[in-house]
Structure 1
Amino acid sequence: MQKTLKYLPHSVVMMVLATAMPNTGFAKTPLQEVLQYALKQDPRLLEAKAEQDAATQNRKASEALHYPTVAVTSSHMLGQHHRYESDYDRETDAGLRGKLNLYSWGGIEASIDRDKKKERSAYYKFFETRETLGSEIANLYVAAIYYKESLEVAKRNLERHKKFMDNLRVVSTYDTGRLSEFSQAESRYLQAQSSIVDLERSLQTTLSRLNLYFNKRLTVNDLIDPFKDKKAEDFFKTFNEGPKDNVHPSMLAQQAELDSAIADIDVTDATTKPQINLEGLATRYDRNAQVTLSWDLFNRPAHYNTENAKAKVYSAQARLQQIKRDITERYETAKINMLQSQNQANISQRHVTVQTKVANDYAEQFTVSRRTLLEVLDAYADLSRTETTYVNARHEFRTSTLEFLLAQAKIARWAGLPENL
């Protein structure tokens, strides 16, 4: 083979070697790339955008109440009695009827103001939906990483048990008294296999859900830790504004809902006030214009509508306070969990190094009967638990970081998308 390669051009030799060598490098798909695609194409965002457009049309409809309405009218007489004979000629008549509001006690202006607030709420709801969707997708992504890392831990544990069982077979050929210990080791081996099956199922399920949000099929090799080599302090420096009333879309949307509920009280109250309209009618036989006054002296439903609008104000106020409290709690809890999980990961990482040496020493000492089988298996179990603790701590750090970003509505910004608020 070496003689053959000697006479080949250098470029061809490199091509052959590159083909023969295993491909250990994979093109990763960062979480930011997934979010940048999903947060522009997802149906939930399209729905939120449509709701925003619908709110705009409602506002325009309220503004149009200042314009006159014109209708075509037509009537055909079925029965009639008149004093003069000439009036009997008017069996069928057609024409135009117009109506223009002159004064509505502020009802139209209140409707416009209410719908403007609802339009503003729908605008912020779009960005609230984007942040919530981004959080869901990001949590699926980091969950897939968690199952991937847990699977790696389980496979290492399985490999240790397999290697130990192979050594145990060799030892038992010289010491037949140890054949009974083989069943105990095999039981732990099968337990490790069962864990792998469960983790593989969870990993594939999570990837299947994640792939619904991206334009290509993601595999395990595409995943990369979005917060690798990042510390909690780094995020505290970059994203430490905290949840603000005038920035967070959830708070802004609910505040707009509260304002629209307050304006709705004026709308319902105006229905109990006089309405002054200019009305006109033009047919083949008649022409008239008149100013009309309409005032409901008794309108019980209007009273209940006003009380209903007031109750909605109290509900919106309570909801706003609840949102503020939940977001603040999420923000503070996320900061604590980020620091604690970061410390736990650092400790567990050192613990893994020590426990690996302990497990290897116990396995070697078992071959010379200085350690029992149970001690070796327990050492392997401790090592697996320590590795799992590290994986859990890293997963907790990732999820807490996402909660930290979500509490400030910064997931889209972290992914490289404009905030547009």
Structure 2
Amino acid sequence: MQKLLFISALVMSTQVQAMTLEQSVAEAINHHPRLQQKYASFEAAVRYKKAAVGDYLPQVKLYGGVGYEEVRYNSGQRVDTDLNRTELGVKVSQLLFDGFRTTSEIDRLEFEQEAERFGLISEAENLSLDVATVYLNLMLSNRVVGLAERNIVEHEDILKDIILRQAKGLSSESDVAQVKARVATSQSGYLAARNEQMDLQARYYDLVGQLPTELHDAKPDFNYVPTSLKLALEQAVKNHPEIDAAINDTQAASSQYEREKSDYWPKLSIELQANKNDNIGGIEGPDEDARAMLMLSYDLYNGGSTNDRAEAAAWQVQQAKSIRQQTEKQVIEGTRLAWNAYEFVGQQRKFYQVNVDQAVQAEQGYQRQFELGRRSLLDVLDAKVEVYLARKNYLSAYYNYHIASYRLINATGQLIESFRVDTPTQWQEEK
């Protein structure tokens, strides 16, 4: 009852409309927090890279200060002055060489930006698969609810017939009790189907943000479904965004290693500086100067920190390579599992169709034989259950086959493309 009230509240508080699967996917991509978080992370990476490029440009600093200064000696001469000191200056510096640190840092951030972009695409692919799975499961659930309703009606019709037959002395009280038990079972099955339906509606609402009043038939574009396991694996390794993200993470780690090695090199820059000071060094009066200098600095010893940081970065490269290998293994495993589901569920569907046809034929035959007194009531009831289960199994196989198809397309990294859903141009920019 609480679940029913929850769904009713969702319906009342949300403007609902019928949406296709493609529209549902687009709505989820546009508004789901999972994508918003990944997009924010991607945009942050873009800004970090832009910030690093600024190190190539001149750096201009304005500084100033005012305060009290007491000086006893200046250059060996006793002055004993108490003055109010003021400083004002501007400094312009241009980096000429920093051991390739800035270049390596820009490369690192650019690779991280690409890794974030591919991570965003991967999250969108997975979200699209989640929406497709819920959408098709909801379609299946709706059909199962319809079957359950039909099953109740058919059992109630049998109950009415058996009650009439009992009144004529053609059926016993135990026959009536037996059918009533089956009616209760069918009603229980209907409630279970409704419970599953409402759970899926809540899940759909979580992904898309609204509950559709009706669902449109959804089928995958089989032009995107690989025709063999070999082709599926080739496409997955080539196109899957998780692998591309791992590759860029590895390249970012290599650039970080180059950045850490930059401390082995000297730093060279040009500095322009002008000062307008007053009461400096205990000497009353203005103190103004300007200079242009070529500055060189070379870190001769820093306690071995440069070596340690470089070695740590080298190990991070090895870590990134291992993650990249593991990611590829996971993608290959996921593709194999998706292919197996696609193949076997597709084969099951054919047998379930035969099961339905034969079960219906058997039920009709049992019904005629029961009317002639050659079959028991239990035989008819069991045959009806067999038809119900056969139809339910066929529907499950039908929709699971389509879900497996979407899963296989997702494994090859082409699900969003197969939906013809437009994504922001930033998602498609190559390095």
TM normalised by structure 1 equals 0.82
The equivalent of 2:212 in structure 1 is: 218
The answer to whether residue 243 in structure 2 is matched with residue 251 in structure 1 is yes
* Paired residues for 1:366-381 under 5 Å: 366-381=370-385
Q: Return the match for 2:168 from 168, 174, 181.
A: 174
In 2, Cα distance between equivalents of 1:305 and 1:138 = 46
Q: 1:351 to 1:244 in 2, by over 3 A?
A: closer
Identity %: 17
* Paired residues for 1:269-284 under 5 Å: 269-271=261-263, 273-284=265-276
Q: 1:178 to 1:311 in 2, by over 3 A?
A: farther
Q: CA deviation at 1:238?
A: 12
How many residues align structurally? 391
The equivalent of 1:144 in structure 2 is: 138
Q: Look up the SS of the partner of 2:71 in the other structure.
A: coil
Q: Return the match for 1:95 from 65, 89, 92.
A: 89
Q: 1:244 to 1:360 in 2, by over 3 A?
A: closer
The question of whether the paired residues in 1 share the 8 Å contact of 2:224 and 2:418 is answered with no
The equivalent of 2:350 in structure 1 is: 346
Please list the CA deviations of residues 258-313 of structure 1 after superposition, one character each: whole Å capped at 9, or x if unmatched.
10011111112223544334445422124344424141612455444333322322
The answer to whether residue 293 in structure 2 is matched with residue 287 in structure 1 is no
Q: Which amino acid aligns with 1:270?
A: S
Q: CA deviation at 1:174?
A: 2.5
The equivalent of 1:65 in structure 2 is: 55
The answer to whether residue 164 in structure 2 is matched with residue 161 in structure 1 is no
Q: CA RMSD in A?
A: 3.0
The equivalent of 2:69 in structure 1 is: 78
* Paired residues for 1:327-346 under 5 Å: 327-346=331-350
Q: Look up the SS of the partner of 2:69 in the other structure.
A: coil
The equivalent of 2:406 in structure 1 is: 402
Q: Which amino acid aligns with 2:53?
A: E
The question of whether the paired residues in 2 share the 8 Å contact of 1:245 and 1:252 is answered with no
The question of whether the paired residues in 2 share the 8 Å contact of 1:29 and 1:224 is answered with no
Q: Return the match for 1:47 from 37, 42, 46.
A: 37
In 2, Cα distance between equivalents of 1:40 and 1:312 = 35
In 2, Cα distance between equivalents of 1:156 and 1:130 = 39
* Paired residues for 1:32-43 under 5 Å: 32-43=22-33
Q: 1:96 to 1:360 in 2, by over 3 A?
A: same
In 1, Cα distance between equivalents of 2:123 and 2:383 = 48
In 1, Cα distance between equivalents of 2:149 and 2:315 = 59
Gapped runs of 5+ residues in structure 1? 1-26
Q: Look up the SS of the partner of 1:222 in the other structure.
A: coil
Q: Look up the SS of the partner of 1:389 in the other structure.
A: helix
The equivalent of 2:108 in structure 1 is: 114
The question of whether the paired residues in 2 share the 8 Å contact of 1:114 and 1:260 is answered with yes
The question of whether the paired residues in 2 share the 8 Å contact of 1:105 and 1:270 is answered with yes
In 2, Cα distance between equivalents of 1:238 and 1:338 = 11
Q: 1:377 to 1:255 in 2, by over 3 A?
A: same
Q: Look up the SS of the partner of 2:91 in the other structure.
A: strand
The equivalent of 2:12 in structure 1 is: none
The answer to whether residue 128 in structure 2 is matched with residue 134 in structure 1 is yes
Q: 1:121 to 1:234 in 2, by over 3 A?
A: closer
Q: CA deviation at 1:257?
A: 1.0
Q: Which moved more, 1:106-115 or 1:185-194?
A: 185-194
Q: 1:38 to 1:210 in 2, by over 3 A?
A: same
Q: 1:172 to 1:41 in 2, by over 3 A?
A: same
Q: CA deviation at 1:398?
A: 1.5
In 2, Cα distance between equivalents of 1:50 and 1:234 = 30
The answer to whether residue 408 in structure 2 is matched with residue 417 in structure 1 is no
Q: Look up the SS of the partner of 2:392 in the other structure.
A: helix
Q: Which amino acid aligns with 2:37?
A: E
Q: CA deviation at 1:203?
A: 1.1
Q: CA deviation at 1:321?
A: 1.8
In 1, Cα distance between equivalents of 2:316 and 2:392 = 49
In 2, Cα distance between equivalents of 1:389 and 1:102 = 72
In 1, Cα distance between equivalents of 2:179 and 2:81 = 112
Q: Return the match for 2:117 from 111, 123, 131.
A: 123
Q: CA deviation at 1:104?
A: 1.5
Please list the CA deviations of residues 214-249 of structure 1 after superposition, one character each: whole Å capped at 9, or x if unmatched.
576403x3242425xx8x798446996642544332
The question of whether the paired residues in 1 share the 8 Å contact of 2:165 and 2:171 is answered with no
